[in-house]
Amino acid sequence: MDLQDQLKNLFPDHEPAPVEAEEEVAHELYVQKEPMICKFEKRKGKATTIIEGYEGSDEDFKILAKEIKTKLSVGGTFKDDSIIIQGDYRDKIMEILKVKGFKVKRVGG
């Protein structure tokens, strides 16, 4: 006897409510008019790529940071309205952002 049969035995008059399927809506990022800045810095002797200038919500920027980190398979963080990626990946990050429809400006070197 499965759970449904046991419930029917306990509550014979009960009619189960129909299950409604929820449609998943793909989350779209806010694409801005001003270009985002992609710059290179050395912090504590290690190369880092910093992305700044996003005008949308922080949640969208965090989603974008996670997507960049997973595509490049690198570490990084979201801090003070900027994405900090470990290593010099400016060219690859700029390509990813351009495919998504963002304007990107390269700064430094």
| Stated pTM of the model | 0.68
Which residues, including other chains, have CB under 8 Å from residue 49's CB and lie 6 or more apart?
Answer: 38, 39, 40, 41, 84, 85, 87, 88, 89, 90, 93
State whether residue 55 is helix, strand or coil: coil
**What is the CATH number assigned to the segment(s) 36-108?**
3.30.780.10
Nearest C-alpha neighbor of 80 from the set 50, 108, 39, 35: 50
pLDDT by 10s per residue, the chain, length 109: 788 888 888 888 877 777 776 666 555 666 677 888 899 999 899 999 999 988 888 888 888 899 999 999 999 998 888 999 999 999 999 999 899 888 888 887 6
Q: Tell me how far apart the alpha carbons of residues 99 and 95 are, in angstroms, rounded to a whole number.
A: 6
**What single letter denotes the amino acid at residue 66?**
K
